[in-house]
Amino acid sequence: LARCHDAISLSPGSEGVLPGFVEYTYKHILPACFLAPLRATFDLNDGYAFLTLGEIAGVLKSIVTQRGAEVIFYLQNEYLPSLNMPQELIQDFLQKVQQSEIKVLKPYLKALFAQFRTSATCTSSQ
């Protein structure tokens, strides 16, 4: 994930330095940020998991910083609803990822994924 963070940071607002990277980000990187921590085998209390959540926070923050309203719209209206994430969690997440620093996002993501996992509507098998 650290390499993704670097590549996202290098790729300016549009296609920029890495043609096709925006599409790759939406199809592969964003899903990995959500699907991995939603798996039952991902122990949210493990030290390595907390480090991973830090990397995920950095990647999400970079994507939101680079793509802005476009990625917010995509997450709010397409991707997160496809996971059956409740609208109130979506709104809270989008606010936090836009306004919080990575060090604040890390524990927030742990709580978010724990809460979402316990939701009966969670779809983590995608």
- pLDDT: which is higher, 35 or 125: 35
Statement: the pTM of the whole predicted model exceeds 0.85: no
Question: Two tokens at 30?
Answer: 């964003």
Q: How confident is the model at residue 20 (pLDDT cuts 50, 70, 90)?
A: confident
Question: Two tokens at 32?
Answer: 């990995």
Angle of CA points 102, 105, 110, to nearest 5°: 135
Using an 8 Å Cβ cutoff, are 1 and 55 in contact?
Answer: yes
Distance CA(94)–CA(73), nearest Å, equals 10
Q: What is the pLDDT of residues 5-18, one digit of tens each?
A: 455 444 455 555 57
Calculate the alpha carbon distances from 115 to 54, 93, 95, 108, 112 in Å. 18, 12, 17, 10, 5
Q: What is the pLDDT of residues 48-104, one digit of tens each?
A: 999 999 999 999 999 999 999 999 999 999 999 999 999 999 999 999 999 999 999
pLDDT score for 17: 57
